[in-house]
Structure 1
Amino acid sequence: MGTQVERLESGIAVLTVDHPPVNALPANGWQELATAVGDAGADPTTRAVVLRAEGRGFNAGVDIKELAADPGHTKLVEVNHGCYAAFRAVYECPVPVITAVQGFCLGGGIGLAGNSDVLIASEDAEFGLPEVDRGALGAATHLARLVPQHLMRTLFFTGRTVSAHQLEHFGSVWRVVPADQLRATAVELAGEIAAKDPVVIRRAKEALNGIDPVDVHRSYRFEQGFTFELNLSGVADRARAEFVDGSGRA
């Protein structure tokens, strides 16, 4: 369990998240992922990073049960910092991050996907933010990097998902492939990037981040403030309790 790191001879670092049963990460899981991405990018021999996951889905967001079990706000603060750190690590990784998504990519998974440089998805992949139904807000910043503005708002308000093929149509997903080809396809593309001059690629990543029209870190922190406000009001506690006991929406 956790985040495993595999280093290939080509200079590709393959990071695999494995938190059964659905890859809903606890607070320390987000921090562990942030550290793994940061360490991979800091290694001068790394030329590209592949971010993937084991199991039937890429990421189901935060561990709601961990938050529901905390009578205060300690875990909420920890998971907020953890998500922020993980999303930031992906965005600021000095080399391109190619993320391979299978099954569901929800909540915090959107933060990881939206801040990645390239997305490859399996045919069954779906992307969405169920935050409103969980009494939380956040990652609209990153969903807006995947879909057009008005669709982002529709998905955010309703909690609906969008398919990998739809994202491929928008150009957000580079390729949609059968699930059994997902890892190989991601590694193949990473290899193409890794074969180029590493100094040029690192400067290219820095340059692209520098011309980004949205400050993703500031924007996401703004969203997190509303999540904390909903927790202080008690709305989030009720939504999490409904989710844990099964009476809330799926």
Structure 2
Amino acid sequence: MAATTALVTIEHRDAVAWVTMNRPKKLNALSVELMGELSAALNAAENDDTIKVVVLRGTNSVFSVGYDIAQEVEMGVSTAEQWHAGLEHNIGLSMQVWRLKKPVIAAVSGWALAGGCELAMACDMIISGEDAKFGEPEIRFGSGPVTLLMPFLIGQKATNELLYTGDVIDAARAEELGMINRVVPAADLDNAVEQLARKIALTPLSILRYTKRAITRAYDAMGLTQTVESNLDIAAVLNSADTPERTEFTKLVATEGLRAALEWRDERYGQIDV
């Protein structure tokens, strides 16, 4: 059974719900509208007792390039108060995935960047194709991580390097760091995810729910929720900071488009990227 909205596709394969972000022309950028539909799809899967496992993926060989920067510029988000309200909404989606009462598997192909990387990291497991790329490059134009999950997944030193540089890593490196579970050939991604999802779905639903609750509470005891909430306040100030780089990036988005702004950003780092 499949149901389609403008921006999200939901397909039931026995006890597994495949939830697909369906905004390929924008590389599944997380607009307000997409996030709303995705949240509703996750709620539906959570409340359906015929579903035991959720798979989250993108379209057009891209998971998601993150939050819709062009929409943020168009909305004129600038003050710390405005950023706080918007970022709280963004964090809400990631933490909805994190706290969903059923296991969520991210099937990642292509880009999983910024908010898209955070959304994948919020899933219980990540299986990626060899073509996948992960990272939070937003520091390069004066932004920063919103849902601060990375330190809990890959540790201090690797997190520091990725968040200070904005580097993007390939799937093999992400697996080496423990960010993802495994890498498979791109053509085998759906089959690998389906096999894992079906194996998990053999477990009784109540056992899956309690097991996920136990794991989530363990991370809460380590301070994950407090870290995410504390980072929200810092991220609101960070995103509203008045820097020449942020000013130029925002101007380029408004006048020449997001692609031109990203090219300008990448040119600044291109000569020193290794």
Q: What is the TM-score with the length of structure 2 in the denominator?
A: 0.82
AA at the equivalent of 2:120: A
Bigger fraction of residues in helix: 2
Show the counterpart of 2:269.
none
- What are the ranges of 5 or more consecutive residues in structure 2 without an aligned counterpart? 1-5, 267-274
1:16 partner SS: strand
Q: 2:231 aligns with which of 217, 223, 228?
A: 223
Q: Is the 8 A contact 2:136 2:163 kept in 1?
A: yes
Matches within 5 A, 1:53-202: 53-73=58-78, 76=83, 79-139=86-146, 141-202=148-209
AA at the equivalent of 2:188: Q
Q: Is the 8 A contact 2:113 2:136 kept in 1?
A: yes
Aligned length: 249
Show the counterpart of 1:28.
33
Q: Is the 8 A contact 1:60 1:104 kept in 2?
A: yes
Q: Is the 8 A contact 1:67 1:75 kept in 2?
A: no
- What are the ranges of 5 or more consecutive residues in structure 1 without an aligned counterpart? none
Q: Is the 8 A contact 1:129 1:160 kept in 2?
A: yes
Show the counterpart of 1:19.
23
The CA distance in 2 between the partners of 1:91 and 1:222, in whole Å, is 17
The CA distance in 2 between the partners of 1:36 and 1:20, in whole Å, is 18
Q: Is the 8 A contact 2:54 2:104 kept in 1?
A: yes
Q: CA deviation at 1:232?
A: 3.6
Larger Rg: 2
The CA distance in 2 between the partners of 1:154 and 1:210, in whole Å, is 28
AA at the equivalent of 1:248: W
Find out whether 1:239 has 2:249 as its counterpart.
Answer: yes
Find out whether 1:37 has 2:42 as its counterpart.
Answer: yes
The CA distance in 2 between the partners of 1:122 and 1:106, in whole Å, is 15
Q: CA deviation at 1:173?
A: 2.0
Q: Percent identity?
A: 27
Q: CA deviation at 1:82?
A: 3.2
The CA RMSD over aligned residues, in Å, is: 2.2
Show the counterpart of 2:271.
none
The CA distance in 1 between the partners of 2:84 and 2:147, in whole Å, is 19
Show the counterpart of 2:3.
none
Q: Is the 8 A contact 2:88 2:232 kept in 1?
A: no
CA change 1:180–1:219 in 2 (3 A) is same
Show the counterpart of 1:248.
264
CA change 1:190–1:227 in 2 (3 A) is same
The CA distance in 1 between the partners of 2:158 and 2:178, in whole Å, is 14
